[in-house]
Structures are given as structure tokens and as C-alpha cells.
Structure 1
Amino acid sequence: MNWIVLVIAGLCEVGWAIGLKYTEGFTRFWPSVGTVAAMLVSVALLGVAMRSLPVGTSYAIWVGIGAVGTVVLGIVLFGEAANAGKLVSVGFIIAGIAGLKLAGD
């Protein structure tokens, strides 16, 4: 169950990272409210997951989910470059996340 909580925390991290773009430097009220809410939920769920998961693994997976999700949504939503170097790097992050999960079992 804590792995599911950790994944949801990572997805909330993606939400606030993308939300930052829409806040325009926290000058837009509703995007700012949503972004701060996603930040709070993300960190709270990370804390819940860390009750039983190792801190290093939890944090690395949380950041990895956030990084991969943010890169993918940056490409999809904002037309950022999807070059080979970027995609290979994202693949390495995904491999690292899988490796940490497998090594923890």
C-alpha cells in the first residue's frame, strides 16, 4: 500500500511542477492555489510512505517520478524538445526507479 501512496505522491509532484509554469511566478491566483495544494499533498503523502519504506529509496523514487512526469508533460504540453539525449536520459531515470524498487524487495 505504501508503494501506491508513494506513486501518488510522485504524481502530485508532477502536478505542482507543471503547475508552477501556469502560476506565472505566483501572480495567477487559482493556478497558485492548485500548485500549493499539490505541493502539500505530495510532501504529506511522501511522509506517509516513508513510515515503512526506506528514506533513500522513497525520496529517489518520488523525485524520479516527478522528473520523468515533468519531462513528458513538458514535451506534450509545452512543445519542449524530445531529442534522443533527453529520451535516453529519461530511460535511465526509469531504469533507476525500477532498480531501486527491485533492490528494496
Structure 2
Amino acid sequence: MARQAFRMQLKPGAAAEYRARHDAIWPELSALLHESGISDYSIFLDEETLALFAVLDLAEDNNRDALPDHPVMKRWWDHMAPLMEVEPGNRPKEWPLTQVFHLP
């Protein structure tokens, strides 16, 4: 199991809707993420900068790299694109974060 962290960026005025959409996450998306080897996935918001900080555990035998091609993932990205900075194809822009401290 490996832990990964990355940053994403919300657009101004989108925080409440971003939270509401995640509170109502689609069951098929949750299942897809688990089936892909993702667990213990959290996203935190810096309300001052609108930066999102995501942390997840990734199984050794994961297939996270296949997610961008999955229809459910593409639909979710399209659904979320108006709220955040995205790449072409509506994949959220991600900036990897480097772990500098861990207290087990």
C-alpha cells in the first residue's frame, strides 16, 4: 500500500457546490475507485486559497492509470469541470505533493 497526495484547484465561488457533489458521490464512482485499488481517500479544502489537498491509499496491484479511460470517470470529470481547473478532457489539474513528515 502506498499513500499519495496531490493538490487541485477550485474556481472562486465553487466550494459549496464541490462539497455538495462529493456528499452525493455516485455509488458507481465509489465502486470504481475501490475496484481500481484506491482506499482511504480524503480531500481537504484551504478556504483562503481554494486549493484542494487530496490524500489516498493505493494498493500495490492498483489500476489507477486506467481510470481516465473509464466512462464513469469521464462523466464525473465532466460533472465537476465547471467547478475547478481542468486539463483538456476535463481531467482535474493535479499537482503532486511531496511528503515531508509522517507520524505513525
TM range (shorter): under 0.3
**Structure with more helix by fraction:** 1
**Structure with more strand by fraction:** 2
Larger radius of gyration: 1
